[in-house]
Structure 1
């Protein structure tokens, strides 16, 4: 493609039209990506909450499992 200084008026108008169409298409792609990012951010927040809950449950279970007659008031027969 020639440099703009060497292009005719019609060629420049065609180029501007092509660039406008490309800008519009890119804008649409950006809008799609923005929606995807919003969905993913919402999913990530939900997963972070689930992860926190599971971490708390794990800590409680580990605490319960770590108890025995030597470090609690449980009877030795419970070990």
Structure 2
């Protein structure tokens, strides 16, 4: 391979590396956005789980296991 061919090859590889670096940066930003979204969804999920537990507790109560009147069953 001649010196000119090697220089051309190095230039092409440099351009590829630059393009790949830009793609990585885009994906890094996407990952950051998705991580933020996941954190928000995890908080919502935890809140919904707590609400569900409270509702299940209320629904599980009847006159046999609480002080409510049998007519409320």
Q: TM-score range by the shorter chain?
A: over 0.9
Unaligned stretches of 5+ residues in structure 2: none
6, 9, 24: which one aligns with 1:12: 6
TM-superposed CA distance for 1:62, in Å, is 0.1
Query: Scaled by the length of structure 1, what TM-score is found?
Result: 0.92
What is the RMSD of the two structures over their aligned residues, measured on CA atoms?
0.2
Structure 1, unmatched stretches of 5+, are 1-6
How far is 1:45 from its partner?
Answer: 0.0
Misfit runs of 4+, over 6 Å: none
**Residue aligning to 1:46:** 40
Q: How many residues align?
A: 73
Deviation at 1:51, TM superposition (A): 0.2
Give SS of 1:71's match.
Answer: coil
Structure 1 distance, partners of 2:35, 2:65, is 44
